[in-house]
Amino acid sequence: MFRFYGLLKYSFICIWSVYVIAPFMWAITTSFKDFNSVTGGATYIPWVDFEPTLDGWRQLLLSPSEGGVALVQPYLNSIMVTLLSSAISLVLGTLAAYSLSRFKFRAGFIKNSDITFFFISQRIMPPVVLSLPFFIMLGHLGLLDTLIGLTIVYIVLLLPIAVWIMVDFFNKIPVEIDETALIDGCNPVQAFFRVVLPNSIPGIVVASLFCIIFGWTDFFFAFILTFTEVQLLPVAVVALNSSITPWWSLSAAALISVAPLIIVAFIVERYLSKGNLSGALK
Amino acid sequence: MKLTKLTAFLLGSVMLGGTAHADKWSDMFPHIKNSGDIPGECSYESMSKKDYSGRKLTINTHAVPVMGEPTALHAEQFAKLTGADVNVIHTPAGDLYSKAMVPFQTGQAPYDIVFGFSQWISDWKQYLEPVPAKYVNMKQMQDVTNSHIDVNSWDGTMYQFPIDGDRHYLKYRKDVIDNPEMQAKYKAETGKELRVPQTWKEYGEIATFFNGWDWDNDGELEYGSAEVMAKDNLMFAAFFSRAVAYAKNPKTPGGFFFDLETMEPQVNNPGFVEALTDWVAATKYVPPGGINFTLGDETMSFGGGQTLFSFSWDDAFVAAMEDGSPIKNKVGAAPLPGAEKVWNRSTGKWDNEYNQAPYIVWGWTSAVAKKSKNHDMAFDYLCFFSNDANHRADIAIGRFGVNPFRKSDFDPDLYVKNQGWDPEIASEYSKTLLDMEEKSTNRVFPLRTPGVAQFTSAVATGTSKALAGQLTPQEALDEVAAEWKKIIARVGEDKLREAYAVGVALEDNLE
Amino acid sequence: MNFKHKYIFLLPGLLVLLAILIFPIGFTVRLSLSSWDSFYPGLDFIGIDNYIRLFSDDPRFWEAFGRLAILSSVTVTLQYVLGFTLAHLVWKDIVFKRFFRVLFLIPMMTTPVIMTVLWRTIFHESLGPINDILSLFDVTPRWLSDETLALVTVMIVEVWQWTPFMFLLLLAGLLSLPKEPYLAAEIDGAGPLRKFIYVTFPLMAPISVGAIIIRLIEASKIMDTIFVMTSGGPGTSTETSSFYIFIKGLREFQMGYSAAMSFTYLIIMIISLTVIANILVKVFVKGN
């Protein structure tokens, strides 16, 4: 009975792993193809099914006047904007979340849960319509096509996530911990920084992960609000989409754009496991 | 002896000096090595005399390589020659409109130059700086064909700077249509001649015959036709190409998309419905997934040897004729098929006679923003982009997407020498295009009214519903016509009529 | 605890958000009361005409909403079930536990826009690998050209992309569960199934509800996948609200009308989500 269950477990994991990996395998092999290797039907193994070339990869380094898409600068820009806006959103969001979890707010009929919902509801609005007013707003402030302008807009996108995740995590940390610290003579601010925060590392790690992901992968606002100075990675990659969709360079670009986040995934996993230990130390 | 030697020496150095002058630019800029710099107001020589150092030019263009690569290349060259700082941004085709319009409509001009489709002229001409007379009168501009001057002008003023030409034409596999074995087989099984189809019905018959079997012995199945059917912002043009033969009646001037007097949409008249019925039937002879083909898919399909026919823009033909393509020199070009009957809206009946009408499809164009502070630099750049030397080099590079639009472009030798085309194919290509541009009298101009994006979007939605089988062709086009009426109400009937009249005048007063 | 300090914590975040948002939201509302168009740019005032048009003359919007409801609910349910299963599987000790945890996170790290283009090539009916392999069995499904199948294809891509979201949240939740209830259950002699139903699931209720709600919000905004794979087609069979709003707004440039649609969408979503949240809480918490 257990063996069957074990077999089931591992088969499910294997099937899902194949599902996850398959597109990347396809991307890897496709990144070495060219027009003829693609139009004759699906091909899989280099040298066996088709003649591999480095065109797809080279296109990512060449400048547009040579037929490529220079991805280096957009790559760095994306990193900067994502990290900056995530950091600010995390700080502001964690603070706000803590207060929403621990304290009671009342302003007329607006309660804690309403304020939390207000934060979260910022995610509902489809970005399309916000493009015009943000464009106007940043235009008037002279912040179009700047890192700062984009960061400001991204804070609107990421702050709600930080708030929502941290509220959930803070709610799970028993109030006793805070009270113990207060009894020991700390004021609430000290209680927060010295006691509660260290216990909520898993939450912070998850929140930063989501902030980074949603910031890194945004296409829309980066598209509308930037021109030449600050190009972000998704916009630069989509600019490869000419009359012919170049399967090869897009595959290469996809692989490159996911690479840094894989590193982030490793880091997250480590902290998650660690978080488990600190929970058990209670 | 000495004198001869001296003369020879002097002669030699003069000659060397002369050629050295012509080669100076092609040494610095290998792009024009075949022709060297060709003299003119915007040649390399002329541009080198300008000094734009310290000034910045910003250009929004299409993704690399179509239009994107030549823009970036010429930007680099321009920067080198004049000292300007040129910034180029690349945007996918579907987003060029919004990327330009959002700033325009909010009163900004982050781009000095915008690239786009010439049919947007009515929507954005208010934000564009007209091309100064100086450039209009240049020799290189006078060489542009009339259709392309018309498509870039509004009521006599040139708002857009022509840098490319586009058209729809029929492309076919010569190795099948001109193949005596295939001709015999076709005749034996159908009793009809295998030839370049003259009507859309014939197109459908031949495509159906060659659909779903391996007729070129490459181990893969082939199909009848590759068409742009995906519900994007280009497919409506494929529909109109099929419709013009059935609905553009030389006997009923005064509007094709609308009746100019009443502004009644014509898009659901029997001519259009017949074309849509043909198109729905076409879904049977396109490759698997063909109903979701974008222009890129069509290019890959026909250009990769998967289908017998294709009929939209140049891209598929160019891809097929690239070095390394398995079907290089096996494809031919011909005018779009006509129709065996054409709808007459005055009499309310079909005129049962052969009708053909080129659809002067819009294509790539460029324009300078009115609010730009760099008009002089911008126009100089565009002029430089399309100067004789650059243009000659550009049309020889298929992936650049720069297609013939000047009278001097239609010289078959260009393609034979620079791209290795078969002379017969090069002649056929040049003649087809030139005839469409200059000689036809029954033309349809693209819809260029305010709100054009809404009209074409409605067409895309309606026709794709028919293609998917959600509605019958008549129902689908009735829906489109109803939506068109609503759009007219929003724009204002008079305003629309005024704008549409400009295009109709071009269609009706030929010359 | 009711301290003055509470405002120090809350206000920086709240005020920053409000400051950035106040103009765009206000502008959008004002925009929805105008007829800003490509040929009539500017904020004229036409009252609630846009809204009247939306409610009386635009069945396409409501059809899109219906499709959205189906699409979101199916994908989010799948993502929840699959995500929970996966999280549970890699929670305790199994072989290569850490490798699998990282692996299962990866799809979420990709840029949807880019991955969707890749998926389009994978599902390409003549040149893609899936139909190539399936053709060995004489089956070539019309992934993107059949009305119902297109929706399924979109779901497949969405599940691939966003199950890690649920997976991560639920795993983090599982990892921070207290040990005591499990020890108590052990003592009572409960097997793995009973432990799950009576201990794990209820303890995970708050996170589950939160995750589902957030995922619903995000799923409803689905744009990239549909835009790249099907452009809302064939016909209109994969058109959702956000896609339709995008078409009207940035393709046709009917900004005023698009703003009215967005605002209506916002209100409807807020109402539905509140209702759904209440239902979920009842189901998850009461069902114990």
B319 backbone dihedrals φ, ψ, rounded to 5° = -60, -40
Residues contacting residue A140 through CB under 8 Å, at least 6 positions apart: none
The count of other CB atoms within 10 Å of the CB of residue A201 is 16
**Domain limits, chain A:** 70-239
* Amino acid identity, position A246: P
3-state secondary structure of C139: coil
CA atoms within 13 A on the CB side of B427: 2
Q: For residue range A18-28, what is the model confidence (pLDDT) as tens digits?
A: 999 999 999 99
CB proximity B75 to A under 8 Å:
yes
CB proximity C117 to A under 8 Å:
yes
- Do the chains contact at A244 and B106, CB–CB below 8 Å? no
Torsion of CA B481, B483, B488, B491, to 10 degrees: -160
- Superfamily of domain B170-360+442-508 in the CATH hierarchy: Periplasmic binding protein-like II (3.40.190.10)
Mark which residues 26-55 of A lie under 8 Å from B by CB.
Answer: 35-36, 38-41
Q: Would you say residue A276 has pLDDT above 60? A: no
Order of strands across the sheet that contains B331-334: B223-226, B307-310, B170-173, B331-334
Q: For residue range B286-341, what is the model confidence (pLDDT) as tens digits?
A: 998 888 888 888 888 898 889 999 998 888 888 888 887 888 899 999 999 999 99
CA atoms within 13 A on the CB side of B142: 7
List residues bridging with B62 in a β-sheet: B91
| Angle made by CA atoms B101, B105, B111, in degrees to the nearest 5 | 55
The percentage of residues in chain A with a pLDDT greater than 90, rounded to a whole number, is: 13
pLDDT averages per 10-residue partition of chain B, 511 residues: 52 46 74 83 88 92 87 92 90 85 86 92 90 91 87 90 88 92 92 92 93 87 91 88 91 88 91 94 91 87 90 86 86 92 90 88 89 93 91 83 85 82 90 79 86 90 91 94 92 90 79 36
Mark which residues 1-60 of C lie under 8 Å from A by CB.
Answer: 1-3, 5-10, 12-14, 16-17, 20-21, 23-24, 27-28, 31
Instruction: Supply the pLDDT for residue C286.
Output: 67
CA distances from C87 to A17, C105, C142, C208 (A): 13, 11, 33, 12
Tokens of C223: 């744009």
**Nearest in space to B103 (alpha carbons), one of A135, C257, C28:** A135
- Superfamily of domain B13-162+362-403 in the CATH hierarchy: Periplasmic binding protein-like II (3.40.190.10)
CATH code: domain C58-286 is: 1.10.3720.10
- Do the chains contact at A40 and B218, CB–CB below 8 Å? yes
**Nearest in space to A246 (alpha carbons), one of A78, A90, A32:** A32
Query: How many whole angstroms separate alpha carbon B106 and alpha carbon A138?
Result: 11
**Domain limits, chain B:** 13-162+362-403, 170-360+442-508
Q: Which DSSP string corresponds to B160-186? A: SB--------EEEEHHHHT-HHHHHHH
Query: How many whole angstroms separate alpha carbon B374 and alpha carbon B382?
Result: 12
Q: β-strand B307-310 against B170-173: which pairing, if any? A: antiparallel
Q: Would you say residue A3 has pLDDT above 80? A: no
- Do the chains contact at B319 and A40, CB–CB below 8 Å? no
Which ranges of B257-387 would DSSP assign to H, the alpha helix?
270-282, 295-303, 315-320, 375-385
Query: How many whole angstroms separate alpha carbon B229 and alpha carbon B238?
Result: 8
Distance from the C138 Cα atom to the nearest Cα atom in chain B, whole angstroms: 14
Q: β-strand B56-62 against B85-91: which pairing, if any? A: parallel
Q: For residue range C109-156, what is the model confidence (pLDDT) as tens digits?
A: 888 888 888 898 899 888 888 888 888 888 888 888 888 889 999 999
B323 backbone dihedrals φ, ψ, rounded to 5° = -60, 140
**Domain limits, chain C:** 58-286
CB proximity C132 to B under 8 Å:
no
Instruction: Supply the pLDDT for residue A279.
Output: 42
The percentage of residues in chain C with a pLDDT greater than 70, rounded to a whole number, is: 97
Which residues of B fall within a CB distance of 8 Å from C125?
A: 287-289, 292
Average pLDDT, chain B: 87
Instruction: Supply the pLDDT for residue A275.
Output: 57
Query: How many whole angstroms separate alpha carbon C162 and alpha carbon C167?
Result: 9
Q: Which fold has domain A70-239?
A: MetI-like fold (1.10.3720)
Distance from the B464 Cα atom to the nearest Cα atom in chain A, whole angstroms: 20
B494 backbone dihedrals φ, ψ, rounded to 5° = -65, -40
Q: Do domains B13-162+362-403 and B170-360+442-508 have the same CATH topology?
A: yes
**Inter-chain Cβ pairs, chain A and chain B, closer than 8 A:** 118
CB proximity A187 to B under 8 Å:
no
The count of other CB atoms within 10 Å of the CB of residue A48 is 7
Query: How many whole angstroms separate alpha carbon A219 and alpha carbon A213?
Result: 12
Q: Would you say residue C192 has pLDDT above 50? A: yes
Instruction: Supply the pLDDT for residue B18.
Output: 42
Q: For residue range A32-70, what is the model confidence (pLDDT) as tens digits?
A: 888 877 877 777 887 777 888 888 888 777 777 776 777
Instruction: Supply the pLDDT for residue B17.
Output: 44
